[in-house]
Amino acid sequence: MRPSLDSLPLWRQLLATNAVVMAVRNGTSGTAAIDAVEPTLRPGVQALAFHVWRNWGRAQALRRKLAPKQPPAAVDTLLCAALALAWQEKDAPYDSFTLVNQAVEAAKRNPATRAQSNFVNACLRRFLRERDALVELTDADPLARWNHPVWWIERLQRDHPDHWRDILEAANQPAPMTLRVNLRKTNRAKYLAQLAQSQIAAVADGPTSICLERAVPVQKLPDFAEGYVSVQDGAAQMAAPLLLNALVPGPGMRILDACAAPGGKTSHLLELCEAEVTALDIDPKRCLRISDNLTRLGLVALVRTADAALPETWWDGRQYDAILLDAPCTASGIVRRHPDVRWLRRPSDVEQLAALQKKMLQALWPLLKPGACLLYCTCSVFVAEGREQVETFLANNTDAILLPSPGHLVPGNSTKMGTVPDNQTRDHDGFFYALLQKHPV
C-alpha cells in the first residue's frame, strides 16, 4: 500500500527516484540503485522508478517537444521522470496535478535542480495544458510508442520479425509472481490449499509451478522459511527438468551449475534428483546467496567462487554427467522484471556478452563425459545470445549434437516460439534453451 502524502511527502520519493534513475543513466543497475535508497522510502521509490522506466521513451519524446534543447542531466531526469509518471492519466500512480506540484517541489529542494525549478514548472504546466496534442505529436516516434531504445527495437525486428511487437508489449507489463514447489517437502495441490487457507489467490501453472494473482512479500507465503517453495519464473523452472530428462540417473551422478547465483536452478536440480552438484559463481557475495537459499530449502551442494570460463583454476579433472550453463547475457528477456535493463544496455553489450558466452561454452565442453549433456540457456531474446551462438558452437564442435530443445521463448502470457511441452507454464519470461549432447565415444 502506498504511503500517504502526510506520512511520506511525494517530493521526497521523487527526489530519491530521480537519484535512482540518474544512477541508471550513469551505468548503475536499477537493483543496486534501489538497494541504496533508505528503507522507509525504498518500496515507494521502486514502484515509481519501475513506472518511470516503463514510460521513459515516451517521456524523452515529450521532453523534446517541451524543451528541444536538452537541459542539464539532473533537470532532464527530473522532468522526464515527472512526464513518465503523468503522461497517461489512467495508469498514473497519482493525479497529474499532484505529480506536477510535487515534482516542482522536488526541484526546489535539490541543489542540482533548484536554479531551474521555474523551468521545470513551466514545462510541466504546459504539458498539463497541451497534454493530448503533445502526446499525439509523439505517437509516431518509435521510442515513445514502444518505450525501448531504437537500437533495441531494430534488433528485435531483425531477430523476430513475427514476434517483435509481442516481445516489446510484454516487456512493459509487470511480471507475475511465480512459485516453484519443493517436491521434497510438499506438492502442488497441498501448497495451493495452504495458499487458499492464507487467502492468497493462486493457480496451478505447470508441474511444480504456481502463479499468484497478486505479488506478496515472501514472508507471507506459508512455510516459506521452511523451504516449501521458492520464487522462480516459469521459464527458469524449465531448466532442471530439461537437463535431467536427458540423463540416465545413477549413483554418484555429478552435475555442474556453472553460473549458479542466486541458486534457483541449483536448488531445483537437487529437489528433483540425487546428485553431487557443484555450484559456481564468480562473485563471492552472490555465492553467499546460493548457500543461503540451499540452507533454507534443506539442500546441499558444493558452492565455489570461481570463473567458469577458467576451469584450470578450479576443476578437479573429473568429467561431469551434466552441465548447466545459464550464461551471463543482456537480460533482454526479463525486462518486465527489470525495466531499467533496456536503458542500461548499449548496442555493443550484445556482441561483448556473446563473446563471453562463446568462451564459456568452449571452456566447459571438455569437462563433459561422452554421451552426457550440457544445457545452454540465457534469459535473452536476442538471437546472437541464443540460436546464433549455438549454431556457431555446433559448427566448431563436431562431437556436439543438438537434442530437441525449446529454443527462444517469447516473454508474456501464452506466447511462445520453439517447442514447449503442453504442461509447462503459460506465463513466463523470455528465455533461450539448447540441449547439447556430447557424441558417445
Q: Residues 6 or more apart from 31 whose CB is under 8 A from it?
A: 338, 340
Contact indicator for 316, 276 with CB cutoff of 8 Å: no
Q: Within 10 A of 403 (CB to CB), how many other CB atoms are there?
A: 13
DSSP string, 202-244: EEEEETTEEEESS---GGGSTTTTTTSEEE--TTGGGHHHHHH
> Residue 379 catalytic?
yes
Q: Find how far residue 54's CA is from the centre of its chain.
A: 14
**Burial profile 118-143: b = 16 or more Cβ within 10 angstroms, e = fewer:** ebbbebbeebeeebeebbeebeebbb
Q: How many residues does the chain have?
A: 441
**Contact (CB, 8 A) for 150 and 142:** yes
C-alpha grid cell, residue 5? 502524502
Q: How far apart are CA 213 and CA 81, in angstroms?
A: 29
Interior angle at CA 166, CA 414 and CA 338, nearest 5: 90
> With 0-12 CB in 10 A as exposed, 13-18 as middle and 19+ as buried, what is 209?
buried
Q: SS3 for 321?
A: strand
Q: Which residues participate in catalysis according to the annotation?
A: 379
